[in-house]
Amino acid sequence: MSGDNVECFISTHKDPFVNLAIEDHLFKTTDPEKYILYLWRNKPCVVVGRNQNPFKECNLRYMEEHGIPLVRRRSGGGTVYHDMGNSIYTIFMPRAAFSRDANAELVARALLQLDIPAYVNSRHDIAVDGFKVSGSAYKLTNRRAYHHGTMLIDTDIEMLRGALGGSRDKLVTKGVASVPSPVSNLRSYSYTIDHQQFCEAVIDEFLLAHNGSKPVKPVIFSQDDPSGLPEEVQKSKDELTSWDWIYGQTPEFTHDIEMDFTWGSVNAFIRSRHGHIIETEIQTSVTEAQEIMVISAIEQALQAFTTSSRPSSLISTSALAKDSSIKILDGSWHMPNANRDPYLEFVQKRIPGAQFFGIDDIKAKASDLPHMLPSKDTFAEAVGKLGISNNDHVVIYDSVGVVSACRVYWTFRVFGHENVSVLNGGLPKWISENRPLDTNKPIPADPAQYHVASVREELVRDYDTIIKNVKNVQRGEGGFLVADARSNARFTGEAPEPRPSLSSGHMPGSVSMPFQNLMSGTEFLDDEALKQKWLTQIPDLNQEIVTSCGSGITASVLYFTLERIGAQNISVYDGSWTEYAGRKESVIVK
C-alpha cells in the first residue's frame, strides 16, 4: 500500500545480492516523483562502491577464510561491512529534491526519538559522541536519486575491522578510496535498541517529513516467498553476482610486491585493469639457474588461474585478426553535409564478418533530434538481429578511424554490455596493412537472443540536467564540468555550426576539448598522452564530467578517452549542442 506521494518497503531477505537487486528494481520501476523508503539488512558481507578497488579496500584473504562474500553495489561511495547487526535504509526521491544532509538529518532525528544523541558531522556521516554509526552513499540520474546508508546497531566490530583491512601501502589505484573513521555501535548508547525499533523510528520520521505523518502500510519482500520477487530482480541479481561485475569493474591499479625467502628475494610489479593482469615485471636476487626455476613456477601457477574478465576497450588490428570469435560491427556515420552514405560504403567493402550498426536507424524513433539513444527494447531487438548475444565480445570500427565507433561503443555500455571494444585505427588502418576485405553482397547474421538487464542511466545526461547545471554555474554555486568536443572556433562562436539554424558558441562553465586533439591520424594517442592532454584542460579528473559535441557523436570520443585514463564520474549529453542551441531558454556564450 502507499500514500499519495510515498511508499515504504521492507525486505526480510538476508542475501545482499537479492536486497541490492530489489533496491535497483525499486529505483527503476517506481514513480520518479515519489518518496520511497526501503529498509533491509544482510548476512555478513563486504560491499564496495561501484568505482572502488576491492584489492585495496578489503582483506580478501580474511574474507575468504571467514566465508564473507564480496559485493559491488551500483552506487558510489566507500566500502562497508554488513551483518545482521547492521540495519540499512534507502530513501528514493526526485532528483531535484535530493539533499544528502537532509536525508541524514531525517535518520538522525529517528535516533533522537530513541534517546540516542545522534548528529550529522562535517563528512555527512551520522555520529554519536564523535564516533561514526552510519555511513552513506548515493546515486543520481536525470530524474531520480537515492541515498542509502548503514546503521551500526550491534555489528561485529572485530569482523568489520578484519574484513576492511585492505592493502593500502604499495597499491596505487585510479579508483575511489574509502576514508577510514572510528566507529561504534548504537548498543553502546542504548542496551535495548534493535533492528525493528530502528525501522519503526525511521518510518515515523520519513512519514512526518514526506506524508504529513499519515500512516502507510509497508510492502514486505518476504524471504519466505522467494517466488514472489519480480523477474527483473532475479536478472539484476544474476548481474550483481557475476565475476565481470564484482571484479571486472575494478579500476586500473599497480601493485609493488616485495617478498623474502630463504633462497633470496623477489620484487614484483603488477599492473591490472578490469580485474586482470596486463603487465608484470619481476626482479630477483637469485642466480640465473634459480631464476629460471622461479619463472617456471610462476608460469605453472598462472596456467591454473583463468578468468572471464572484460576485454580492453581498445583493440589492435592484429588482435582482431587473430580472434574469430569476436562479433564485428561497422559503426560508420558521416555528417549530413559530407555527401557520403555509410551503409553503401559498407556494402562495397568491409572487414570480413562485419555487420552494419546504423546510428541513424537504431535510435529513438519519436525524437526530433538526430540519433538519440534508442529504448532498451529497440536496442535489444536490433542487436539480436545483428547476431549478437549478451556474452559476445563486440568490436566496433568505422570508415574514418575511431570517431563514430565510439558512439556505438558508448551505446553498448549504456545498455550494460561490458564486452565491447573499439578497433584502433578503424578501417583505414586495416586497409593500410593489406588485410582482407569482403566486397561481396553482405549476408545477414543469424539472429540471436539479446536481453538488456539494466540501463546505466548514470552515463547519460539530458537537457533538464544540463540547463539546471548552467543556472547553478551562473549563480556561482558550482556544478559538473561540460567538456565540448567541437572545434575551438565553433566553441568560441568564431565559426558557424554545420547545421545552419543553430548559433555557435558554448555553455557557461564548459571547456573546449576538440576530439581531434586526442588522436594521431586515425588512431588514439597512448593512454599517458591522453591523460596529459586532458590534464591541461581539466586538472581534476575526479570531478563529474559531462561530454558534449554537435549531436552526441564526438562527445562519445571524449567519453571513451576519459574512460581509458580512469575517470569514473563521466557521462554524455545525448542531445548535445543541437538540442541545447535549439532551445530558447539556453544561455550561449561567445
Domain at 253-303: CATH code: 3.30.390.50
Angstrom distance (rounded) from CA 422 to CA 238: 27
Q: How confident is the model at residue 171 (pLDDT cuts 50, 70, 90)?
A: very low
Q: How many CA atoms lie within 13 Å of 488's alpha carbon, on the beta-carbon side?
A: 4
Angstrom distance (rounded) from CA 72 to CA 480: 25
Angstrom distance (rounded) from CA 426 to CA 456: 26
**pLDDT value of residue 516:** 97
Angstrom distance (rounded) from CA 52 to CA 71: 11
**pLDDT value of residue 562:** 96
The answer, yes or no, to whether residue 126 has pLDDT greater than 90, is: yes
Q: How confident is the model at residue 173 (pLDDT cuts 50, 70, 90)?
A: low
Domain with CATH 3.30.930.10 in the chain: 6-246
| Domain 459-581: which CATH number of 3.40.718.10, 3.40.1500.10, 3.40.250.10, 3.40.50.720 | 3.40.250.10
**Mean pLDDT value of segment 218-247:** 87
Provide the edge-to-edge strand list for the sheet that holds 355-356: 314-315, 420-423, 394-397, 327-330, 355-356
**pLDDT value of residue 308:** 42
The answer, yes or no, to whether residue 205 has pLDDT greater than 90, is: yes
Angstrom distance (rounded) from CA 135 to CA 150: 6
DSSP string, 306-352: ---PPPPSEE-HHHHHH-TT-EEEE-----GGG---HHHHHHH-B-T
> How open is the CA angle 25-232-195, to the nearest 5 degrees?
45
Q: How many CB atoms lie within 10 A of CB 563?
A: 17
Distances (CA, A) of 107 to 33, 100, 117, 139, 217: 21, 11, 12, 18, 19
Q: How confident is the model at residue 305 (pLDDT cuts 50, 70, 90)?
A: very low
**pLDDT value of residue 532:** 94
The answer, yes or no, to whether residue 444 has pLDDT greater than 60, is: yes
Q: How confident is the model at residue 479 (pLDDT cuts 50, 70, 90)?
A: confident
DSSP state of 372: P
Domain with CATH 3.40.250.10 in the chain: 314-455, 459-581
Going by CATH, does the domain composed of 314-455 fall within 1.10.10.350?
no
Q: How confident is the model at residue 95 (pLDDT cuts 50, 70, 90)?
A: very high
The answer, yes or no, to whether residue 1 has pLDDT greater than 50, is: no
Q: How confident is the model at residue 22 (pLDDT cuts 50, 70, 90)?
A: very high
Give me Rg for the CA atoms of the chain: 26
- Cβ contacts of residue 332 below 8 Å, gap of 6+? 342, 345, 346, 356, 398, 399, 400, 404, 405, 427
Q: How far apart are the first and last CA of the chain?
A: 53
Angstrom distance (rounded) from CA 39 to CA 402: 46
The answer, yes or no, to whether residue 165 has pLDDT greater than 80, is: no
Share of the chain above pLDDT 70, in %: 93
**pLDDT per residue over 515-545, tens digit each?**
999 999 999 999 999 999 999 999 999 899 9
**Mean pLDDT value of segment 184-200:** 94
The answer, yes or no, to whether residue 235 has pLDDT greater than 80, is: yes
Domain with CATH 3.30.390.50 in the chain: 253-303
The answer, yes or no, to whether residue 116 has pLDDT greater than 60, is: yes
Angstrom distance (rounded) from CA 204 to CA 213: 7
Q: How confident is the model at residue 304 (pLDDT cuts 50, 70, 90)?
A: very low
**pLDDT value of residue 298:** 66
Provide the edge-to-edge strand list for the sheet that holds 253-261: 171-173, 253-261, 264-273, 276-284
**pLDDT per residue over 461-478, tens digit each?**
999 999 999 999 999 888
The answer, yes or no, to whether residue 255 has pLDDT greater than 80, is: no
**pLDDT per residue over 340-394, tens digit each?**
999 999 999 999 999 999 999 999 988 999 999 999 999 999 999 999 998 899 9
Q: How confident is the model at residue 67 (pLDDT cuts 50, 70, 90)?
A: confident
DSSP state of 226: G
Fold classification of 6-246 is: BirA Bifunctional Protein; domain 2 (3.30.930)
Q: How many CB atoms lie within 10 A of CB 101?
A: 11
The average confidence (pLDDT) of the chain is: 89
The answer, yes or no, to whether residue 259 has pLDDT greater than 90, is: no
DSSP string, 446-515: PP---------GGGEE-HHHHHHHHHHHHTT---PEEEE-S-HHHHHTSS--SSTTS---B-TT-EE--G
**pLDDT per residue over 382-437, tens digit each?**
999 999 998 899 999 999 999 999 999 999 999 999 889 999 999 999 999 999 99
Please report where in the chains the cell 520518479 appears, as a residue: 32
The answer, yes or no, to whether residue 319 has pLDDT greater than 60, is: yes
3-state helix, strand, coil in the chain (%, to 5): 35, 20, 45
Q: How confident is the model at residue 232 (pLDDT cuts 50, 70, 90)?
A: confident
**Mean pLDDT value of segment 160-169:** 73
**Residue 258: burial class (beta carbons within 10 Å; 0-12, 13-18, 19+):** exposed
The answer, yes or no, to whether residue 448 has pLDDT greater than 90, is: yes
Per the document, the length of the chain is 590
